[in-house]
Structure 1
Amino acid sequence: MKPLQDESKVRPTRTNAADQPLLNLKGIKVLFVDDAPDNRELVCRMLGLAEAEVELACTGVEGVEKGMRGNYNVILMDIQMPEMDGYEATTRLRNMGFKNPILAVTAHTRRENLEQCLKVGCDDFVCKPINRTLLIQKIKEHMHHYKMACKTAAQA
């Protein structure tokens, strides 16, 4: 089965100075949950360059605990982790009342894997290997949608 998105069509090859304001996440607090130290370091650097405040969790259990304690604007959730995978962690976060965006981070891009991410409560997904520009764009997009939904709910 083909992946749901063709990242070759959405991956800019470079960023230039004019793109820098578009890649800024200043004021956004992100929790990245991943069991791989290399992935945690890479995403922390990617988002740090965009001026996001990034906190890390090494397991799904730790991700759920931190997610409910912290005031995160968005959670990036690895799907394949030992102890508690990202599907279970996302389900628990949603059942415990976490309302902000959760983006799955996965190397498994078969349609059924991605559909499962959405089914358990993820708002979207980012495929590995992670493209910095695409990741930042998705975070900004979901933060915008979330803020608009909150504004609409407040007016109702």
Structure 2
Amino acid sequence: MKALQDESNRRPARMAASDQSLLNLKGVKVLFVDDAPDNRELVVRMLALVEAEVELACNGVEGVEKGLKGDFNVILMDIQMPEMDGYEATTRLRNSGFKNPILAVTAHTRKENLERCLKVGCDDFVCKPINRILLIQKIKEHMAQAVMLPKTAAKA
């Protein structure tokens, strides 16, 4: 598990046109779990610009079901949702053997909230409002780490 870092210190500068190719996610399968239609539409648009394949889930129950059935490279997990929150959904995914990166997506950025995200099995977090370049960079970073280091299932 990665040490908690203040995301505000990691915000990237605007990318030069020649660096845009570094952000390409062509062929990357992403599951975005969020109960807010506006957030789902925004992330789909952000990731479509870099050619990622995005599937959506409207709550944690649907997210766990799709996450275990699909072949996703990464899951973006909202934390505050009805029916099943992102903490429980992440715990269930990890306990069921999902090993690829899970990034928490949250507006609740108090240290204890972010630490809880990591404790239940999230690899990292992305704060709302979402910075597109930072989101893409984190997806690429965690996918690269996942290839190098096999994950063990979290025990919650």
Q: State the identity %.
A: 79
> Aligned partners of 1:6, 1:45: CA distance in 2, in Å?
22
Residue 114 of structure 1 aligns with which residue? 114
- Is the partner of 2:149 in helix, strand or coil? helix
Which of structures 1 and 2 has the bigger CA Rg? 1
How many residues are matched?
147
Structural RMSD (CA): 1.3
Normalised by the length of structure 1, the TM-score is 0.90
> Aligned partners of 1:110, 1:83: CA distance in 2, in Å?
23
* Cα drift, residue 73 of structure 1: 0.3
* Amino acid in structure 2 at the alignment position of 1:47: L
Question: Kindly tell me: are residues 81 and 146 of structure 1, through their superposed partners in 2, closer, same or farther at Cα, counting changes over 3 Å?
Answer: same
Unmatched segments (≥5 aa) in structure 2: 151-156
Residue 36 of structure 2 aligns with which residue? 36
- Is the partner of 2:54 in helix, strand or coil? strand
CA displacement, residues 96-133 of structure 1 (integer Å, 9 cap, x when unaligned): 11000000000000000000000000000000000000
* Amino acid in structure 2 at the alignment position of 1:147: V
Check whether the contact 2:74–2:101 (CA below 8 A) recurs between aligned residues: yes
Check whether the contact 2:7–2:127 (CA below 8 A) recurs between aligned residues: no
* Cα drift, residue 11 of structure 1: 2.4
> Aligned partners of 2:145, 2:13: CA distance in 1, in Å?
26
- Is the partner of 1:103 in helix, strand or coil? strand
Runs of 4+ in 1 over 4 A off after TM superposition: none
* Cα drift, residue 6 of structure 1: 4.6
- Is the partner of 1:68 in helix, strand or coil? helix
Check whether the contact 1:67–1:75 (CA below 8 A) recurs between aligned residues: yes
* Cα drift, residue 14 of structure 1: 2.5
User: Does the alignment pair 1:146 with 2:128?
Assistant: no
Q: Which structure 2 residues correspond to residues 59-138 of structure 1 after superposition, within 5 A?
A: 59-138=59-138
> Aligned partners of 2:106, 2:133: CA distance in 1, in Å?
16
Normalised by the length of structure 2, the TM-score is 0.90
